[in-house]
């Protein structure tokens, strides 16, 4: 059986993702479309929230991926710091724009959902505030990569930033438990017994969440392939200049 670390070899990664990426991309389109169409067209209005409950099929998957993208970036950054595998640093870099967009979707859908339900677009609630800070960390992370020419130095510094930002990624998930205050409720989906969300909503929500995970994976694979090519191009140009 081949080792997981073989994929740290850019050639092996490019070969494998060459056939894997179209499959994941196609699956992401089919699964996301299924989840969103099911959620939008075929779920009933909630007795209290009315049709705004349909926003859950965008808001929860986007928020889930906003946090998990950062955790994935943390793991990839730690792999870079410990084992110095370039592909893992480039995968972390490739994940940031998707995470940024997921955070933006979660913030926007949260605001348009919050206005009719809470009577306000925004509140300095622990969960909302930590999510806004996570959004700013994504911007900072992308800006830091763009500001540094040397890719190894960029990977080192962004790994440190990623480690610090993880505090807010975790806070945005668990803030509602740490501080029993604020407008945002606790987790909608939980492994704890007791039903919070009816299966009429839960089933399409799980499909939509799977779709968002697949979108994330497809874009990270595509982005990592691009970053590997960009790195090779930089190396070739540098060699030309030296000659």
Residues forming contacts to other proteins in the complex (CB under 8 A) are 36, 40-41, 45, 50-52, 54-55, 58-59, 62, 97-98, 101, 104-105, 108-109, 112-113, 115-116, 215, 219, 222-223, 225-226, 229-230, 232-233, 236-237, 240
Distance (Å, rounded) from C-alpha 198 to C-alpha 154?
A: 46
Rounded to 10°, the helix 56-83/86-118 angle is: 150
Residue 147 or residue 191: which is nearer to other proteins going by CB?
Answer: 147
CB 192, min distance to other proteins, A? 28
Min separation Cβ 196 and other proteins, Å? 21
**Cα–Cα nearest to 138, from 185, 186, 106, 184:** 106
Query: Cβ 64 to other proteins, closest distance in Å?
Result: 14
**Least distance to other proteins from the beta carbon of 27, Å?**
14
Q: How far is the CB of 152 from other proteins (least distance, A)?
A: 19
Residue number with CB closer to other proteins (65 or 176)? 65
- Select from 225, 240, 233, 184 the least CA-distant residue to 15: 225
Q: Which is nearer to other proteins, 25 or 197 (CB)?
A: 25
CB atoms within 10 A of CB 139: 12
b/e code 76-110 from CB counts within 10 Å (16+ = b) = bbebbbeeebbbbbbbbbbbbbbbbbbbebbbebb
Q: Give 136 or 233: the residue with its C-beta nearer to other proteins.
A: 233
Dihedral sign, Cα of residue 162, residue 165, residue 167, residue 168: negative
**14 or 197, CB closer to other proteins?**
14
Closer CB to other proteins, residue 77 or residue 109? 109
Dist CA 174 CA 115 (whole Å): 23
Between 20 and 78, whose beta carbon lies closer to other proteins?
Answer: 20
105 contacts 113 by C-beta, under 8 angstroms: no
Nearest distance in Å: CB 147, other proteins = 18
Closest approach, Cβ 154 to other proteins, in A, equals 17
Q: How far apart are CA 216 and CA 235, in angstroms?
A: 28
């Amino acid at each position: 059986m081949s080792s997981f670390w073989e994929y740290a070899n850019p050639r092996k990664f490019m070969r494998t993702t060459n056939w894997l990426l179209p499959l994941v991309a196609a699956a992401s389109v089919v699964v996301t479309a299924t989840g969103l169409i099911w959620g939008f067209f075929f779920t009933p209005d909630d007795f209290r929230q009315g049709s705004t409950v349909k926003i859950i099929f965008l808001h929860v998957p986007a928020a889930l991926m906003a946090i998990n993208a950062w955790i994935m970036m943390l793991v990839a950054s730690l792999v870079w710091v410990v084992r110095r595998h370039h592909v893992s640093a480039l995968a972390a870099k490739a994940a940031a724009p998707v995470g940024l967009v997921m955070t933006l979707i979660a913030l926007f859908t949260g605001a348009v959902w919050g206005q009719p339900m809470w009577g306000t677009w925004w509140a300095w609630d622990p969960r909302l505030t930590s999510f806004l800070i996570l959004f700013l960390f994504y911007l900072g992370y992308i800006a830091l990569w763009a500001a540094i020419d040397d890719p190894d130095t960029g990977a080192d510094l962004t790994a440190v930033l990623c480690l610090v930002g993880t505090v807010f990624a975790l806070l945005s998930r668990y803030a509602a438990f740490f501080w029993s205050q604020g407008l945002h409720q606790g987790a909608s989906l939980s492994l704890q017994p007791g039903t919070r969300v009816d299966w009429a909503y839960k089933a399409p929500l799980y499909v939509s969440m799977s779709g968002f995970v697949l979108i994330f994976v497809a874009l990270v694979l595509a982005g990592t392939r691009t970053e590997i090519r960009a790195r090779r191009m930089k190396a070739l140009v540098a060699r030309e200049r030296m000659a």
